[in-house]
Structure 1
Amino acid sequence: MKRRAILAGITALLAPRSLIAQTPSRDGPRRLGVLMGNLADDPVGQSYTASLMQGLRALDWREGANLRIDWRWAGGDPALFDRYATELVELGSDVLLAQSSPSVVALRRKTSTIPIVFTMVTDPVGQGFVENLARPGGNITGFSDFNSLMAGKWLEMLTQVAPPVARVAVLYNPATAPYAGLMMRAVEDAAPSFAITAQSAPCRDAAEIQSVMAELAREGRGGLLVLTDIFTIVHRDTILASAAQHRLPTVYFARSFTTAGGLMSYGIDYAELFLRSADYIDRILKGASPRDLPVQQPTKFELVINLKTAKERGISLSTTLLATADEVIE
């Protein structure tokens, strides 16, 4: 894809370029600090950073030339989030990119002046990161990953399997998903429409994940909904293996779970969020203030089904569900 085409794609839905001031005068390369929540060797996390780099190159930023990037990977470890946030601030970053809520929490403890662009964050207003979506105020803005309408779609998908799901356990870690209450309310509000009972299933380690799924399987007609959370991302393999062991119908928030063997997913394209975040980084490096850059809400969603997994587990999927999928893995 040519550079102009890429640039057009990542800026089409963003705020007007009139927000951008002239590039401040400064000798030498600018400095970007990136605090990732994934493990460093996670291919999915690497695909996100590749998208970020694609976006930056489209805007004429070159790592090692006019831009220095300091990468940190916390792997879901609270101590590492705090340690790496301190390092990135002390390195004198011009702008910081924060993947996931724990990254934002750690960075905002260390600085109230260095601009922070977040991505893969749910309910930034409720978490106190920004004053409002249109005018964030302060030094933080970015890209949110949740729309309450997603909850209804997740439950609807679980009603289109045979045998049908009657109870749904919603898996997340309260420590890394403080916004889970908002998502649970959306799920509980939608549940009666589908004759489903939804229950919270907080987990803090691999053993609790396995215990939740074993209990769900024993009770029968159970399904699982995995929320967006750096904990579920880091424990992806454990979740996938346990869901396969107990043959549970499961809906995930991201295609990365489905392509790795999960049953089905509905959510946004997270790699695209990183691609689009390059535009806000560019604007800030050229003088724009985060307080004037509106928080972007998700508008494009994708439904992915792993038909191979369904057949292996003896799960039948409705023709309607298959027909509406953006991708069917066979």
Structure 2
Amino acid sequence: MAGAWPLAVRAQQAARVAQIGFLYPGVAAVASTRIAAIREGLHAIGYVDADRVEFLTRASEGDPTKLAPLAADLIERKVDVIVPASPLAVRAAQSATSIIPIVAADLESDPVGSGFVASLAHPGGNITGVFSDFPEFGMKWLQLLKEAIPTLSNAVVLWDPSTGSLQLNAVKAAGHLLNVKLEVIEIRAIAEMKLGFQTASARRPDAVVILSSPIFGTDPKLIAELALAQHVPIATLFPDIARAGGFMAYGPSLVGTFRQVGTMVGKILQGFHPADLPVERPTKFEMIINLKTAKALGLTAPQTLLVAADEVIE
């Protein structure tokens, strides 16, 4: 089977322009920036038809229940590769097909522990991709907040249960180590964000930690505005939230991550089998401090933090 795959892919590509199904848990408007990065990755790997590749975007608009039917639609359309973003999207694609190659962009899952691949070096099935299950981020976000707010003693954690408990356990451990009391609020859909911030604000926290989830990354402007409206500093994985007015972001570069995904998709379109294409980790990370927001919140970001940041917004 593995030996026949490249021939089948080449024959398919000779007949028509490749189609990539992008299964996205957020809003379609945000998906376009991810797709642009994937196309950059296709160029970087030398895929000759990078500009002609057709992307079929299926966005759930923040409703996780829509992912399964959207995945089924991509299967019905016989796309050449599926790129699901988020654990739930990967699971939906995995349930829909064991044949079409899947290149995941998943910043929350342990790919082996989740049953997506047999091993990082030899995925063994039709799934590979870029995965980031670094629990260290949970510690880092709280450490950075503690550096920015030395009096930090209590914080609210916004957590999407669909992403699993890895990050949550890490941030709880960090809270214990740093003597910061944490309260967890579950957010299961983007429609719950406003109530989530209102509930968080009622707890009068010193800060809010937003754990990694596609739900939280799908509408950066909304989250930044909610945080500013409640006058609360936030730390998150997503740089776009900090650029939109959130206080701080630290994590993998999303553009860099989707560019990596694009190179992996390009390899598959050139004949590689996903079973033999090792799982990759994000290679570029960035820290962003919004100094304008810090001033609006009455915070004085220490010079050590500003020097360490990759980008300071003034």
TM-score by length of 2: 0.88
Q: Is the contact made by 1:21 and 1:286 (CA closer than 8 Å) also made in structure 2?
A: yes
2:155 to 168, 171, 174: 168
Q: Is the contact made by 1:130 and 1:136 (CA closer than 8 Å) also made in structure 2?
A: yes
1:145 offset after TM fit, Å? 2.8
Q: Which residue of 2 aligns with 1:34?
A: 22
Range 98-107 or range 23-32, more displaced: 23-32
- Separation in structure 2 between the aligned mates of residue 69 and residue 203 of structure 1, nearest angstrom: 30
CA change 1:255–1:64 in 2 (3 A) is closer
1:212 offset after TM fit, Å? 4.2
Q: Is the contact made by 1:143 and 1:295 (CA closer than 8 Å) also made in structure 2?
A: yes
- C-alpha RMSD over aligned residues: 2.4
1:132 offset after TM fit, Å? 2.4
Range 72-81 or range 275-284, more displaced: 72-81
1:221 offset after TM fit, Å? 4.6
1:320 paired to 2:308? no
Match of 1:328, SS? strand
Q: Which residue of 1 aligns with 2:82?
A: 96
1:125 to 106, 109, 112: 112
Q: Deviations over 1:284-317 (max 9, x none)?
A: 1222221211211234321100000111111222
CA change 1:249–1:163 in 2 (3 A) is farther
Match of 2:58, SS? strand
Q: Is the contact made by 1:268 and 1:298 (CA closer than 8 Å) also made in structure 2?
A: yes
1:143 offset after TM fit, Å? 0.3
1:115 paired to 2:101? yes
Q: Which residue of 1 aligns with 2:264?
A: 280
CA change 1:63–1:284 in 2 (3 A) is closer
2:11 to 25, 31, 37: 25
1:309 paired to 2:293? yes
Structure 1 runs not aligned, ≥5 long: 1-19
Letter in 2 for 1:152: M
CA change 1:118–1:263 in 2 (3 A) is same
Q: Is the contact made by 1:264 and 1:306 (CA closer than 8 Å) also made in structure 2?
A: yes
CA change 1:203–1:38 in 2 (3 A) is closer
Match of 2:268, SS? helix
Q: Which residue of 2 aligns with 1:10?
A: none
Q: Which residue of 2 aligns with 1:229?
A: 213
1:258 to 242, 264, 267: 242
1:228 offset after TM fit, Å? 1.6
1:77 to 63, 66, 77: 63
- Separation in structure 2 between the aligned mates of residue 268 and residue 209 of structure 1, nearest angstrom: 23
Q: Deviations over 1:165-191 (max 9, x none)?
A: 2122221222xx332x01111112222
Match of 1:83, SS? helix
- Separation in structure 2 between the aligned mates of residue 40 and residue 218 of structure 1, nearest angstrom: 32
Map of 1:142-153 to 2, 5 A cutoff? 142-153=129-140
Q: Percent identity?
A: 31
- Separation in structure 2 between the aligned mates of residue 226 and residue 201 of structure 1, nearest angstrom: 10
Q: Is the contact made by 2:22 and 2:58 (CA closer than 8 Å) also made in structure 1?
A: yes
Range 317-326 or range 77-86, more displaced: 77-86
CA change 1:78–1:203 in 2 (3 A) is closer
Q: Is the contact made by 1:172 and 1:231 (CA closer than 8 Å) also made in structure 2?
A: no
- Separation in structure 2 between the aligned mates of residue 310 and residue 117 of structure 1, nearest angstrom: 38
1:259 offset after TM fit, Å? 0.5
Q: Is the contact made by 2:108 and 2:213 (CA closer than 8 Å) also made in structure 1?
A: no
Match of 1:240, SS? helix
Match of 2:163, SS? coil
1:205 offset after TM fit, Å? 5.0
- Separation in structure 1 between the aligned mates of residue 220 and residue 310 of structure 2, nearest angstrom: 22
CA change 1:207–1:116 in 2 (3 A) is closer
Structure 2 runs not aligned, ≥5 long: none
Letter in 2 for 1:178: T
Q: Which residue of 2 aligns with 1:188?
A: 172
1:21 offset after TM fit, Å? 5.9
- Separation in structure 1 between the aligned mates of residue 269 and residue 100 of structure 2, nearest angstrom: 11
Q: Is the contact made by 1:63 and 1:69 (CA closer than 8 Å) also made in structure 2?
A: no
Q: Is the contact made by 1:164 and 1:221 (CA closer than 8 Å) also made in structure 2?
A: no
Range 202-211 or range 135-144, more displaced: 202-211
Range 151-160 or range 260-269, more displaced: 151-160
Letter in 1 for 2:163: P
